[in-house]
Each structure stands twice: as structure tokens, then as C-alpha cells.
Copies of this chain bind each other. A is one copy, B any other.
Amino acid sequence: MFPDSSPTISFTPLKSKRAFEEISAEIKRLVFQGILKPGDKLPSETELARQFRVGRQTVREALRLLELSGIVAIQKGSNGGPVIKDRILATISSLMHDAFHMKKISIEELTVARCEFEKVVLKYVIDTIEESDIKSLQYNIDKAKQKLGNNMLAIEEHIEFHILLAKASKNHFFVIVMASIMALLRALLCQVEENLESANDNIGYTERIIRSRNTLIYHEGIIHAIIEKKQDEAVQLLEQHLQEVRNRLQPFIK
């Protein structure tokens, strides 16, 4: 699995990089080249240390880098060890969350960017959407309906809806940015919910159910407009929908 003799032409600088960085980069390279794929198991730490001719601590620090890059996941115990995984979108979202906490991003900035961004995505989706995308979106709606039928909030489904929309644009960059936005928004909404729960009684819950149903209606309308290729109508619904979300977050913009 790990080539001992490297016929690579690229001469890596010797001193500037630390050992664990080189090991991390080497494994990344194998993943990017498709030699290692998600699901593949890497050798254990001791075995990696033996093959790379380094100590176990060095391997561990390399694994920390790969773990936080969303490229490998580590499981303990027998039959455990490092496994190639593609969690890179989740890690980007996590870093975005950090950036938000460092006051680099305000709620206002995020909602403005989201609105503009979703309008762009919608413009492309009208042309690029396929039958399979419509099925996914419809399934998402059904799941949300079922939850709301049982008086449960469908927040995860509402978030997923917008990511599915980005996927329908067939542009992976759009998907990455949308996933980041929605991850941030989810974190924000959770904070808002916590504030509400601690301050209000459970009358607020029925209020939230009503809003969740309202969101569902917007989502259904947007799908309908997309299917009928009515871009203006879709954009208008989207703007109304996002305006409501914005108003809901407004009190928390300090």
C-alpha cells in the first residue's frame, strides 16, 4: 500500500517542513491521487511508524492533522485504527463556526451573503435540475411533512433542502459554500432555540411548529416554480422565505 521506492519527481524541501507534516502530506497525496479511497483502512500507528521510519508520536501528530482536515477518522480498539473518510465539508463548516465565534462573521453578514448566494444557485438550478434532483427534494419535503404531522420540528430537513438545491446546480463549489452556510445557520438557530427555551414556556413550541410548517410551504412553492421553470416566481418565493428567516434572527443581531 505504501510505496517504499518513490519515483516521484517532486523534490520536497528537507528542513522547512516538520516530519509529521511530510507524513500527512504524503498520505493526502495518496488520497488525492485516488490510490487511497474512503473506506480504506490505514495501517496501525505502530505499523505506520515502522514504514515511515519515525516514532509513533510523529505518526500520531500527522494523524491529528489528517483528522482535522476531514480526511481520516480514527477508531479505537481491536479492528480499529485510521480509516480514510471524506468529512472535509463538515470540517470546513466547523472552521467557519470558529470564524463566526471570533466575531469575524456577523449574523447580518451571513444572512445577506446567504440570500445573494441562494439567488445565484437558483438561477443555475432552473437549467440544470434533473429528475433525480426533483425526487430528492420531494423526498425531503415528505420527510418534513411526516415529522410535522407528528408535531415534530423539521429543522434538519429544512437545512438539507437548501443543500439539495445546491447539489441540483451540479456545481460542487456551490455545494461546499451552501453546506458551510447552512452549518453555520444551524449552529445559530440552536443558540436561538436555547435562548427561547430558557426564557419562554412551551407555548413557544407551537409557535415554532407553525413557522416550520410555513417554511415547508415555501419550500414546496420553490420546487413547484423550478419545475415549471418560472425563475422569477422561484426567486420571489426564496426572497420572501429568507426575509422571514432574517426577521426571526433579527432580535439576535447585536
Max count, chain B CB within 10 A of own CB: residue among A32, A104, A174: A104
CB proximity to B under 8 Å, residues A27-71 = 28, 31-32, 57, 60-61, 64-65, 68-71
Whole-angstrom distance between the alpha carbons of A250 and B155 in the complex? 41
Interface of A: prevailing SS = helix
Interface check A205, CB cutoff 8 A:
no
User: By the criterion CB–CB under 8 Å, are A88 and B92 in contact?
Assistant: no
Interface check A138, CB cutoff 8 A:
no
Whole-angstrom distance between the alpha carbons of A123 and B112 in the complex? 12
- Of A113-121, A207-215, A221-229, A236-244, the one contacting chain B is A113-121
A238 to chain B, nearest CB (A): 15
- Interchain CB contact (< 8 A) of A102 among B20, B88, B171: B88
Residues of B within 8 A of A91 (CB): 95
Q: Provide the A169-204 mask, 1 if CB < 8 A to any CB of B, else 0.
A: 001111111000100000000000000000000000
Copies of this protein chain in the complex: 2
Interface check A232, CB cutoff 8 A:
no
Interface check A135, CB cutoff 8 A:
no
Q: Provide the A151-182 mask, 1 if CB < 8 A to any CB of B, else 0.
A: 01001100000000000000111111100010
Interface check A98, CB cutoff 8 A:
yes
Residues of B within 8 A of A71 (CB): 98, 102
Interface check A103, CB cutoff 8 A:
yes
A172 to chain B, nearest CB (A): 5
- Interchain CB contact (< 8 A) of A172 among B68, B105, B117, B152: B105
Interface check A249, CB cutoff 8 A:
no
- Interchain CB contact (< 8 A) of A95 among B92, B104, B173, B177: B92
Whole-angstrom distance between the alpha carbons of A148 and B17 in the complex? 32
**4 shortest interchain CB distances as A-B pairs:** A113-B173, A64-B64, A32-B101, A109-B171
Residues of A at the B interface (CB closer than 8 Å) are: 7-8, 20, 28, 31-32, 57, 60-61, 64-65, 68-71, 86, 88-89, 91-92, 95-96, 98-99, 101-106, 109-110, 112-113, 116-117, 120, 123, 152, 155-156, 171-177, 181
